[in-house]
Structure 1
Amino acid sequence: MRKFLKQVPERPKPPKVNNDLLAAWELGGSNSNSIIRVLKEIGLLDSSNQPTEIYDAFMQPNVGPAVLGEQVKTTYAKFFASTHEPYNDDVELKRLFNIHSGGSDSTLRDQIHTFKVLCEFATFDGVPSTESDSGQPAVAELNAQSRTANNSSATSTAAMHIDLHIHLPENKTTREYEAIIQDIARYIYRHEDLRDGQ
């Protein structure tokens, strides 16, 4: 799991995470299915093993750890409800896994190890809630912030980029085309009347 998470930001987004991909990433073997199962559980993969929007966000170094932190806190909500930093207390962590999942000593050991590896790649300070203050899903907002940060190092705030494709009707006069453009400026971009250079 540690090797996989380390490689995610360094490699192109795969169309699907399966045994073939893991083998190509030198992660084949008996743990392949476990890796895929955990990635689904924390929301990086969907039910058909395709990377999700959360995976996309995790690929971005500037927001990835916070995104993973949000997913870990959601997946292991009972642990974080019991203690602020369950990943820092092995005794408490073993107790929590014993209560909420159970299993043999080796199973508990594997579960604890997986949890701690996930936490190694996550940050929990200022982790956004499921829905941001703007009402947008937090992951989508983090993706927007990531794109803005990648496009411009001069700004640290999210920005919106709009690509507007206009299909003009045929057989119109120049004045009718000008009116269409002015309406777009007025109603979409909130510009006032643009006639006469205004």
Structure 2
Amino acid sequence: MAADNSFPYTPTPGKLEEFLEKLQGMGVPTRIDKQYLSSVGFASSNSRPFIPLMKKIGLLDRSGKPTELYTKGLRGGESGRALLAAGIRSGYGNVFQIYSDAHNRSDTELATFFKSHSDLDDKKVGLAVKTFKVVCKFGNFNSVAGAAGKEDEGDEGDADEQDESTKGRHQRQQGSNGAGSVVINVNIALSVDATSDAAVYDAFFAAMAKHLKGLTDGGA
């Protein structure tokens, strides 16, 4: 069974939300530790779980140093929310493996899962669920799916345009050559050695005209 810290929790989920919001408007620190928490107004021991939680979802590395997900995700504005959602999915991989929309699941469903995959008691499970829900507020879990949907829609539109274009060409061919008719184009390439004698070219074109006339007469 997984250890309790597989689902970090804080007794004050509201403070966690306040802290993450504050980080979005502050400079990037070299490291986030207990000392840093105190320096920005979160000195309570209830705030210490913020650190392992941020490590779990990839905002901090093992040493507490902010990662690229911290700078481009948490502090990346609206566009960064999709990146943060990916970090949350990765950190809570076992949850999202069962519930692909875990961020939208009820507290009861999540509590059942958290309890069955940890040694947390009922009270701590409740806090772990609330902590998870707070973190999910900062991610946009629909952006990737939405972009894929638009891309698929665009592909379908292109395919429809191509079908209409092909259909139009087919109809034009039938209209100009009769219904069901087949048009065959034959390209013939001939070459003549370079010469300054004009008679050579005259003879060449005369012969070519004769043979082409024969093809035309035969097909009439």
Q: Normalising to structure 1: TM-score of the pair?
A: 0.60
Q: Comparing both chains, which one has the higher relative contact order based on Cα–Cα distances under 8 Å and sequence gaps of 6 or more?
A: 2
Among 27, 43, 49, the residue aligned to 2:58: 43
Give the structure 1 partner of residue 10 of structure 2. none
**C-alpha contact (below 8 Å) 1:70/1:127 kept by paired residues:** no
Question: Given residue 52 of structure 2, which amino acid in structure 1 is its aligned partner?
Answer: R
Per-residue CA deviation, residues 157-194 of structure 1 (Å, 9 max, x unaligned), is xxxxxxxxxxxxxxxxxxxxxxxxxxxxxxxxxxxxxx
Among 21, 26, 39, the residue aligned to 2:36: 21
Among 84, 96, 104, the residue aligned to 2:100: 84
Q: Normalising to structure 2: TM-score of the pair?
A: 0.54
**C-alpha contact (below 8 Å) 1:45/1:51 kept by paired residues:** yes
Among 10, 13, 18, the residue aligned to 1:3: 18
Distance 1:87 1:101 in 2: 19
**C-alpha contact (below 8 Å) 1:42/1:72 kept by paired residues:** yes
Per-residue deviation, 1:26: 1.3
Question: Given residue 127 of structure 2, which amino acid in structure 1 is its aligned partner?
Answer: D
What is the SS of the residue equivalent to 1:102?
coil
**C-alpha contact (below 8 Å) 1:65/1:121 kept by paired residues:** yes
Give the structure 1 partner of residue 68 of structure 2. 53
Larger Rg computed on CA atoms: 2
* 2:86 matches 1:70: yes
5+ residue gaps, structure 2: 1-15, 146-220
Give the structure 2 partner of residue 173 of structure 1. none
Distance 1:127 1:11 in 2: 27
More helix by share: 2
Distance 1:67 1:31 in 2: 27
Question: Given residue 108 of structure 2, which amino acid in structure 1 is its aligned partner?
Answer: V
Per-residue deviation, 1:54: 1.0
What is the SS of the residue equivalent to 1:79?
helix
What is the SS of the residue equivalent to 1:112?
helix
Structure 1 segments (4+ residues) deviating >6 Å: none
Distance 1:120 1:56 in 2: 17
Distance 2:28 2:142 in 1: 27
**C-alpha contact (below 8 Å) 1:43/1:71 kept by paired residues:** yes
> How many residues of Structure 1 are paired with residues of Structure 2 in the alignment?
128
Per-residue CA deviation, residues 49-97 of structure 1 (Å, 9 max, x unaligned), is 1111111112110322111100111111222222232233111111111
Per-residue CA deviation, residues 117-145 of structure 1 (Å, 9 max, x unaligned), is 101111101349xxxxxxxxxxxxxxxxx
Distance 1:75 1:3 in 2: 21
What is the correspondence of 1:168-187 to structure 2 with a 5 Å cutoff?
Answer: none
User: How many percent identity over aligned positions?
Assistant: 31
Question: Given residue 65 of structure 2, which amino acid in structure 1 is its aligned partner?
Answer: Q
5+ residue gaps, structure 1: 129-198
Distance 2:41 2:144 in 1: 32
Give the structure 2 partner of residue 174 of structure 1. none
Distance 1:4 1:127 in 2: 26
Distance 2:126 2:57 in 1: 19
